[in-house]
């Protein structure tokens, strides 16, 4: 699309899908209006998700390290936590980022409006702002309204029952915290509260933490959390919840029968739901699937020819970086470029300690599809760098195509796994084979060498590790 026509793009939602889309569209010469319910840009990720949780996980890691360094000869003493200052610092991180986005938005001459959008017809959107209502014709629109925490039906409302947003506000440090749901959010927030001093229990409906993630990657995390959390109850559900004056009573049903426990707070982290209601989608002929995700094609176009959707509202996985990527694809498509959303590798990181990170094909996916794969694993107990960090529980694995050793997937568990993952994602996107990584010089001593040595194992030997078949 030429810049002379300057098509008008309305972007609904200013999270990790919406604001990069708006910025990219403005950079391509479109005239852009960006809309959000919140007065600030950044969405859940920046304001109530990824960023505040990572700020607090940074503190949690420091607190855990203070504890763990004692046996090797450094006594730090018991750190004192000033919750008000901690909260203020976390908010200041958010403020700096939202401020930066506002400047970038203004510099691109994007119109940012706080308001709620609703389609009134396929051709018109009504925008309710704090100052009144206005209507906008739909030249092009991108829906990027994200998702919200799922709640459990029939549960009472109580300040003691928190979702991730409430938990990130750090109302206090509860003595006993129950986390319902052993997924990304439950384990990240459970780790934060454990480090701050809460006794944390997790109940998970399925038979393992982080369902769907390769068990070889989850095992080291589960072992560590097993020592740090008060209880990890699998195959367990909450049968009843009763808020009381100064606590909350919970009935748990699991393999050991029914148990009653009392907690100070409960965190519900049982997944997220797409924000596709209240947009008037039916009036615009925009279809959603049975779970509420907007149906999109490979260019992220909805069933409306001039409306696109990206991010959590357009389907799983609900990850900020996937949202940004597909939003930019959508904008490129609106600009008339020949593009499609076809990533070979979507990185995923669980920011616990140790972190779990993977991209591309997983072992569980290969098993479900009965797809033959070759898996090579390098244990961090054989890594000099891991030893110097006193963190040898990690593991790096490649999932390979058996005949060619082409890299199909990567999985890492260990400290900083999330930062190590990028090399794996790039290898998959470039169609690299194990030898490409094995014969790339990796700096010594770094954890990145575990990627190289795991790749060496594809030829049956690695410098610092002999597979059991040879030892
Ligand atoms: P999740 O899907 O990761 O985990 C939810 C867990 O709750 C699952 O293990 C599920 O089996 C369990 N569960 C469901 N109903 C239950 C019940 N009644 N009782 C006990 N357990 C129950 O969801 P989440 O942790 O809420 O996170 C939501 C989404 O947010 C994730 O899918 C992820 O995409 C995104 N997220 C990503 C990150 C990250 O990238 N680091 C961090 C947080 C959230």
Residue that finishes a domain, picked among 219, 253, 270 = 270
Closest atom of ligand 1 relative to the 49 alpha carbon = 43
Ligand 1 centroid to residue 349 C-alpha, Å? 13
Residue 339 within a domain? no
Pick from 58, 146, 183 the residue to mutate for probing ligand 1's pocket: most ligand atoms within 8 Å of its CB: 183
The yes-or-no verdict on residue 9 having pLDDT over 50 is: yes
Share of the chain above pLDDT 90, in %: 96
Share of the chain above pLDDT 70, in %: 98
Q: Residue 238 forms beta bridges with which residues?
A: 252
The DSSP annotation for 14-46 comes to: -STTHHHHHHHHHHTT-EEEEEESSSSSSHHHH
Q: How many CB atoms lie within 10 A of CB 239?
A: 13
Give the SS3 label for residue 266.
strand
Looking at the fold, whether 165 and 254 belong to one and the same domain comes out as yes
* Domain of residue 63, residue span: 8-148+273-334
Between the CA of residue 63 and those of 93, 164, 184, 220, 287, what are the distances in Å? 19, 21, 21, 20, 48
Q: State the virtual CA torsion across 121, 127, 128, 131 in degrees, nearest 10.
A: -140
Ligand 1 centroid to residue 143 C-alpha, Å? 23
pTM: 0.96
Let me know: does 12 contact 99? Beta carbons within 8 Å.
no
Residue 3 has a pLDDT of 42
Let me know: does 400 contact 459? Beta carbons within 8 Å.
no
Residue 471 within a domain? no
Question: Which pLDDT band, with edges at 50, 70 and 90, does 7 fall under?
Answer: confident
Looking at the fold, whether 92 and 129 belong to one and the same domain comes out as yes
Q: How many CB atoms lie within 10 A of CB 362?
A: 22
Question: Which pLDDT band, with edges at 50, 70 and 90, does 291 fall under?
Answer: very high
Ligand 1 centroid to residue 57 C-alpha, Å? 17
Mean pLDDT of 223-234: 98
Looking at the fold, whether 140 and 29 belong to one and the same domain comes out as yes
The values of phi and psi at residue 455, to 5°, are -65, -35
Q: Residue 358 forms beta bridges with which residues?
A: 348, 411
Please give all residues whose beta carbon lies within 6 A of any atom in ligand 1, as ranges.
152, 180-186, 188, 203-206, 211, 237-238, 269-272, 317-319, 349-351
Residue 87 has a pLDDT of 97
Q: What is the pLDDT of residues 139-164, one digit of tens each?
A: 999 999 999 999 999 999 999 999 99
Location of structure tokens 């070979």: 344
Q: In whole angstroms, what separates CA 341 from the centre of its chain?
A: 19
Q: What is the pLDDT of residues 437-451, one digit of tens each?
A: 999 999 999 999 999
Q: What is the pLDDT of residues 53-104, one digit of tens each?
A: 999 999 999 999 999 999 999 999 999 999 999 999 999 999 999 999 999 9
Looking at the fold, whether 420 and 402 belong to one and the same domain comes out as yes
Residue 339 has a pLDDT of 97
Looking at the fold, whether 110 and 248 belong to one and the same domain comes out as no
Dist. CA 466–CA 471, nearest whole Å: 6
Looking at the fold, whether 18 and 138 belong to one and the same domain comes out as yes
Residue 467 has a pLDDT of 81
Ligand 1 centroid to residue 320 C-alpha, Å? 15
Looking at the fold, whether 196 and 277 belong to one and the same domain comes out as no
Residue 470 within a domain? no
Dist. CA 277–CA 294, nearest whole Å: 10
Burial per residue of 427-452, b for 16 or more beta-carbon CB atoms within 10 angstroms, e otherwise: bbeeebbbeebbeeebeeeebbbbbb
Residue 361 within a domain? yes
Looking at the fold, whether 142 and 290 belong to one and the same domain comes out as yes
Residue 470 has a pLDDT of 56
Closest atom of ligand 1 relative to the 238 alpha carbon = 19
The yes-or-no verdict on residue 230 having pLDDT over 80 is: yes
Residue nearest to atom 38 of ligand 1 (CA): 184
Mean pLDDT of 426-440: 98
Ligand 1 centroid to residue 276 C-alpha, Å? 19
Dist. CA 334–CA 309, nearest whole Å: 11
Residue that finishes a domain, picked among 218, 242, 270 = 270
Looking at the fold, whether 399 and 445 belong to one and the same domain comes out as yes
Residue nearest to atom 36 of ligand 1 (CA): 184
Q: Is 444 a catalytic residue?
A: yes
Q: How many CB atoms lie within 10 A of CB 41?
A: 26
Residue nearest to atom 28 of ligand 1 (CA): 271
Looking at the fold, whether 180 and 216 belong to one and the same domain comes out as yes
Q: In CATH, what number is assigned to the domain containing residue 366?
A: 3.30.390.30
Mean per-residue pLDDT of the chain? 96
Looking at the fold, whether 143 and 169 belong to one and the same domain comes out as no
Residue that finishes a domain, picked among 215, 242, 270 = 270
Residue 283 has a pLDDT of 98
Residue 2 has a pLDDT of 39
Q: In CATH, what number is assigned to the domain containing residue 288?
A: 3.50.50.60
Residue 468 within a domain? no
The yes-or-no verdict on residue 333 having pLDDT over 50 is: yes
Residue 3 within a domain? no
Residue 133 within a domain? yes
Closest atom of ligand 1 relative to the 236 alpha carbon = 20
Task: Please give the tally of structural domains in the chain.
Answer: 3
Residue 382 within a domain? yes
Looking at the fold, whether 144 and 13 belong to one and the same domain comes out as yes
Residue 378 has a pLDDT of 98
């Amino acid at each position: 699309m030429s810049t002379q026509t300057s098509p008008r793009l309305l972007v609904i939602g200013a999270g990790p899908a919406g604001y990069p889309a708006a910025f990219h569209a403005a950079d391509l010469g479109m005239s852009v209006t960006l809309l959000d319910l919140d007065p600030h840009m950044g969405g859940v990720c920046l304001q109530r998700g990824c960023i505040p949780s990572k700020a607090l996980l940074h503190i949690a890691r420091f607190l855990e390290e203070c504890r763990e360094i004692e046996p090797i000869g450094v006594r730090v003493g018991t750190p004192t936590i000033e919750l008000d200052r901690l909260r203020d610092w976390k908010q200041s991180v958010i403020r700096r980022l939202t401020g930066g986005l506002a400047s970038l938005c203004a510099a691109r001459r994007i119109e940012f409006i706080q308001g709620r959008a609703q389609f009134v017809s396929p051709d018109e959107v009504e925008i309710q702002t704090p100052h009144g209502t206005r209507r906008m014709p739909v030249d092009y629109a991108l829906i990027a309204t994200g998702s919200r925490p799922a709640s459990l039906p029939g549960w009472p409302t109580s300040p003691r029952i928190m979702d991730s947003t409430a938990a990130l506000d750090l109302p206090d440090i509860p003595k006993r915290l129950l986390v319902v749901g052993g997924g990304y959010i439950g384990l990240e927030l459970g780790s934060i509260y454990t480090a701050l001093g809460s006794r944390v229990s997790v109940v998970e409906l399925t038979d393992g933490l982080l369902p769907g993630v390769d068990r070889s990657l989850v095992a080291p995390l589960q072992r560590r959390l097993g020592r740090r959390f008060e209880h990890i109850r699998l195959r367990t559900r909450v049968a009843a919840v009763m808020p009381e004056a100064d606590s909350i009573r919970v009935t748990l049903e699991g393999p050991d029968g029914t148990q009653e426990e009392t907690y100070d707070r409960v965190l519900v982290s049982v997944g997220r739901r797409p924000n596709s209601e209240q947009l008037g989608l039916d009036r615009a002929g925009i279809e959603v699937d049975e779970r509420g995700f907007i149906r999109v094609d490979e260019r992220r176009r909805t069933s409306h020819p001039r409306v696109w959707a990206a991010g959590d509202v357009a389907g799983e996985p609900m990850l900020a970086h996937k949202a940004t990527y597909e939003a930019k694809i959508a904008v490129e498509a609106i600009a008339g470029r020949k593009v499609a959303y076809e990533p070979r590798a979507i990185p995923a990181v669980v920011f616990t300690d140790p972190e779990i990170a993977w991209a591309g094909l997983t072992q569980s996916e290969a098993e479900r599809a009965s797809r033959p794969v070759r898996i090579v694993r390098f244990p961090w107990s054989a890594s000099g760098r891991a030893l110097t960090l006193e963190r040898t529980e990690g593991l790096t694995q490649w999932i390979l195509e058996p005949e060619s050793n082409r890299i199909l997937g990567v999985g890492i568990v260990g400290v900083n796994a999330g930062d190590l993952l990028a090399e794996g994602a790039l290898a998959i996107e470039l169609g690299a084979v194990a030898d490409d990584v094995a014969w790339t010089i990796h700096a010594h001593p770094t954890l990145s060498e575990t990627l190289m040595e795991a790749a060496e194992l594809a030829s049956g030997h690695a410098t610092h590790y002999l597979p059991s078949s040879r030892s």
